[in-house]
Structure 1
Amino acid sequence: MTMIIGTWTINEVIQDRPALDPMRLCQTRIYGAPGRWLLLNADPSSAANLEWFIDQFCDHERLEAERLGVSPYVICDGEVEATDIGAGGVIYHPFLYGSLDRPTAKAGFYGLAGWHERRHLLRALYEGVAFATNMCIENLRRVAEIKEVRIAGGGARSRIWTQIFADVTGYPINVPDGIELGARGAAMCAGISIGAYRDHRAAVRKATSISWRHIPKSESKVKYSSIYSKFKDSISDASHIWEKLIK
Structure 2
Amino acid sequence: MDITLRPRRGVRHITISRAKVAAPVIHYPYGMPLSRLAAAPIVSDLMRQVSQKQSQPVVNPIRTGYTTFTREFRWEAAVGSRLEVTRGKQAVTLYLPSSMDFDSYPAQRFAFQELKHVLRYEANLLIPKAVSAEAEQLGLEYGAVRIKDARSLWGSCSTHRNLNFSLFVLLVPAQLRRYVICHELAHLTHMNHSVAFWRLVSQYLGQDAVALDAELNRCELDIPRLYY
Q: One fold, TM greater than 0.5? A: no
Identify the structure with bigger relative contact order (alpha carbons < 8 Å, sequence gap 6+).
Answer: 1
TM-score, length of structure 1 as denominator length? 0.25
